[in-house]
């Protein structure tokens, strides 16, 4: 998979009907539904599918974003919900393109 963006995770929260959401700043590139986020969670590298993105541009600043993460098991959701990411850097990878296989 090809890296397409960098994202700085500032907070996590759970929205009823949506699930787990990461809030942060898009440092480079572009976020898209279907791509994957890869990040360090307390010394363990996790990779999750992005199921939705909401961008909000702030004047002359990097865009803020909220990204819904595809369903994980309840324990992982609870662990990530209570996590304090402290601006953890994450890599965003393009979803696999099977049309050129």
Q: Which domain holds residue 8?
A: 3-96
CATH number, domain with residue 27: 2.40.30.10
In-domain check, residue 101? no
Whole-angstrom distance, CA of residue 75 vs CA of residue 78: 5
Q: Which residue do the tokens 């393109």 mark? A: 97
In-domain check, residue 39? yes
Number of domains comprising the chain: 1
User: What are the tens digits of pLDDT across the range 52-94?
Assistant: 999 886 666 778 999 999 977 888 888 999 999 989 999 999 9
Residues 6+ apart with CB under 8 A from 73: none
In-domain check, residue 31? yes
In-domain check, residue 81? yes
pLDDT of residue 98: 52
């Amino acid at each position: 998979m090809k890296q397409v963006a960098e994202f700085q995770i500032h907070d996590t929260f759970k929205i009823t009907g949506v699930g787990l959401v990461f809030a942060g700043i898009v440092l480079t590139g572009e976020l898209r539904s279907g791509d994957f986020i890869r990040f360090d969670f307390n010394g363990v590298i996790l990779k999750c599918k992005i199921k939705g993105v909401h961008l909000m541009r702030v004047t002359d600043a990097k865009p803020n974003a909220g990204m819904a993460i595809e369903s994980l098991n309840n324990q992982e959701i609870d662990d990530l919900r209570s996590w304090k990411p402290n601006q953890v850097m994450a890599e965003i990878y393009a979803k696999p393109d099977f049309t050129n296989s």
